[in-house]
Chain A
Amino acid sequence: MVNLEGKGGMKREGQRSLLEKAIEIILFVGALSSIIIVFLIIAYMSLEAYPALNLDFLLGWFWDPKKEMFGIFQIIVSTLYVGVGAILITTAIGVPTAIFLAEFCPRNVRNVIKPSIELLVGIPTIVLGFFGLMVVIPFIRDNFGGWGTSVLAGWMILAIMSLPHVISISEDALRAVPNSYKEAALALGATRWQTVKKVLLPYAKTGILASVLLALGRVMGETMAVTMVIGNPRVAWIPTSILDRAKVLTSTILLDWSYVEIPSMHYHSLFGIGLVLFFIVALIDVTATYMVKRGVIK
């Protein structure tokens, strides 16, 4: 009988382990597919971009497909100019907001502010672009002069777009500071602002910086809204003032894609732009992730 039960049990065990295996395989395939997809995209982009990748491409001065000129140096600089400027605005508004929300904000006020900030995330970028086109651009043109479509308009739209991310991640970083630290500072007679300045901010520094970097990666990859407000001169240049128009990496791909001949140097160059953008954003993201990890270990 014992033997028999053992036999039957083993059989079921066998079946069960088969089921377990099947589930394991499914889960593994799921995990594997995301990795495969990422590497496929990178491989495909690299393969298509390969013929265009050389120093003339990266450091070339002019992007004018009509004249077979595919230099993206000015576009890269414009992209950094637009992205970093937007992030400076976001940081200037977002970090104080996060400090306020984490430390000074009464609960009922927070209940109003927090959901409205989170609502910002839900606004589709095309709607923000439309807002920029109809509100921001005429405002800039009427009050500061110039074309209206400008780097400044790009900064404003991108700042609105990245604000909620910076605020919520920074706030989380500030809230992650152990209460004992805060209590110790307060017990030593520090005021609330002194506590924020000397205890909270130094502790949450890496988290805040990471949120800013993540937002930077996001705004550099942003396409639709930026294309609508940035002006896009036919031949890209490095903007000389914030009221100047500019052409960024993403808007170049978007504008050129509809008529590019496949395959041609122009086509390969567009993939090259995609690859360059990918590496810039990946570098920023990796730095941010590294900072978060280091912050956690500390």
Chain B
Amino acid sequence: MEQTYIKNIRHHPCDKQKGEKQMSWSSLQKTFFALILLAILVLGVHNTWTMSNLTSTVYTMQSTIDNLNSMLGNYTQRLEGYLTIAGSTTVLPIIQTCANLFMQENPGVVISVSGGGSGHGISAVSAGYINIGMSSKNLTTEQITDPDPDLQPVAIALDSVAIIVHPTNGFVDDLTLEEVEMIFNGTITDWSHFGGSGEIHVYTREAGSGTLECFEKFFMKHSDITGAASEKTSNGEMKATIASDPAGIGFLSVGYIDETVNPLKIDGVEPTVANIKTGAYKIKRWLFLITKGPPTKIEQAFIDFVLSSQGQEIVEQQGYLPLEWFQ
């Protein structure tokens, strides 16, 4: 009697399902959940020491997906995927505009573009955090002590650097290379040297900047920039600072120049696109897109777009110099 009762209870469908099953299921679920949490934690602990492992795994997964997409693309002829691009704020305006157009033409592609400076662009693409790095400095420059051999730069345009002052600064219009060097190394500290008055406020860029590198290469041949110069972290910030400081002097990529700042002549030559093209204004440098290893299909498609006549038109619109002028 008792036994059957037990059986009855045990096999009572309601009891079993509501009681046992639910209970064991939820506790199992929770134990499982806890285990997953623990696993994540342990993984996290492990990966803190080798952070790049995780990101490179993600990167490998991403490129695998890209490859799969490109294989599928052979049938559908449609690009899909994500591109992350970061680096030089000099190259940024070109790529931003190109990316917007490219996304319009390929609705399946999402591109995120951000700044950070050339140094950041190179190191981030080398570490696999991003797909394409933007750089306004050459990988072979001695400043990059240990360039990643896998990195593949593609030149997309040329740029120049101009010395800029506030528009109301009436004392200077034309400087020699030597005068620029003396202002920036702290030998000339007062505008009275040029017939004005007041302290000269010298602004520079952070040390990873490609614009700074170009400036130093052409202007600071014998000395370093004064320690008193204020550091700005992007072309945009530099322009905004000079536009608001009547005593300021700085340097800017020509693509950023507009009426809020006054670009100075160097040795009598104005930093206009025409003068750079003819070589009268001597300061120029190449701008690069960098991929790690050979570009995936989607990366290649984007680079091709920038190099196409449409892309080069954007380069010119943004105030930079298209490649064809120098080939």
**Contact residues of A with B, CB < 8 Å?**
1, 4, 8, 12, 15-16, 18-19, 22-23, 25-26, 29, 33, 36, 40, 44, 64-66, 133-134, 137-138, 141, 147-149, 231-235, 237, 245, 254-256, 258-262
A29 engages B5 (CB within 8 Å) = no
- Known contacts A12-B19, A138-B244, A262-B123; A255 and B34 CB within 8 A of each other: no
Is B27 located at the chain interface by the 8 A CB criterion? yes
Minimum CB–CB distance for A103 against chain B, Å: 43
In Å, the complex CA distance between A49 and B39 comes to: 28
Residues of A within 8 A of B19 (CB): 12
| Stretch in B91-99, B113-121, B258-266, B267-275 with 4+ CB within 8 Å of A | B113-121
In Å, the complex CA distance between A232 and B230 comes to: 5
In Å, the complex CA distance between A262 and B52 comes to: 12
Cβ < 8 Å to A, chain B residues 203-242: 204, 206-209, 224-231, 233, 240
Q: Encode contact with A along B6-27: 1 for CB under 8 Å, 0 otherwise.
A: 1001000000000110011011
Residues of B within 8 A of A66 (CB): 207, 224
Among B24, B116, B145, B244, which residue has its beta carbon within 8 angstroms of that of A258?
Answer: B116
Among B30, B204, B207, B245, which residue has its beta carbon within 8 angstroms of that of A259?
Answer: B207
A245 engages B230 (CB within 8 Å) = yes
Is B33 located at the chain interface by the 8 A CB criterion? yes
13 A–B pairs (Cβ distance < 8 Å), ordered by A: A8-B9, A12-B19, A19-B30, A29-B34, A141-B245, A147-B245, A148-B245, A149-B230, A233-B228, A233-B229, A233-B231, A259-B207, A261-B146
Residues of A within 8 A of B37 (CB): 26, 29, 33
What's the dominant secondary structure at chain B's contact region? helix
Interface centre among A8, A25, A259 (most CB of B within 10 A): A259
- Known contacts A65-B207, A147-B230, A232-B231; A29 and B119 CB within 8 A of each other: no
Residues of A within 8 A of B227 (CB): 64, 233-235, 237
In Å, the complex CA distance between A237 and B227 comes to: 9
Number of A-B residue pairs having CB atoms within 8 Å of each other in the complex: 104
Residues of A within 8 A of B230 (CB): 147, 149, 231-234, 245
A40 engages B45 (CB within 8 Å) = yes
Is B292 located at the chain interface by the 8 A CB criterion? no
In Å, the complex CA distance between A196 and B45 comes to: 52
Q: 19 more A-B contacts (CB under 8 A) besides A15-B20, A245-B230, A262-B123?
A: A18-B23, A19-B26, A23-B30, A40-B45, A44-B49, A133-B240, A137-B244, A147-B230, A147-B245, A149-B230, A233-B228, A234-B225, A234-B228, A234-B230, A254-B233, A255-B206, A258-B206, A261-B123, A261-B146
Is B48 located at the chain interface by the 8 A CB criterion? yes
In Å, the complex CA distance between A23 and B245 comes to: 61
In Å, the complex CA distance between A44 and B116 comes to: 24
Residues of A within 8 A of B41 (CB): 29, 33, 36
Minimum CB–CB distance for A148 against chain B, Å: 7
In Å, the complex CA distance between A13 and B209 comes to: 67
In Å, the complex CA distance between A179 and B218 comes to: 74
Residues of A within 8 A of B123 (CB): 259, 261-262
B117 engages A258 (CB within 8 Å) = yes
Residues of A within 8 A of B177 (CB): none
Residues of A within 8 A of B172 (CB): none
Residues of A within 8 A of B225 (CB): 234
Q: Which residue of B lies closest to A247 (CB)?
A: B231
In Å, the complex CA distance between A1 and B41 comes to: 48
Q: Which residue of A lies closest to B115 (CB)?
A: A258
Interface centre among A64, A134, A138, A261 (most CB of B within 10 A): A261
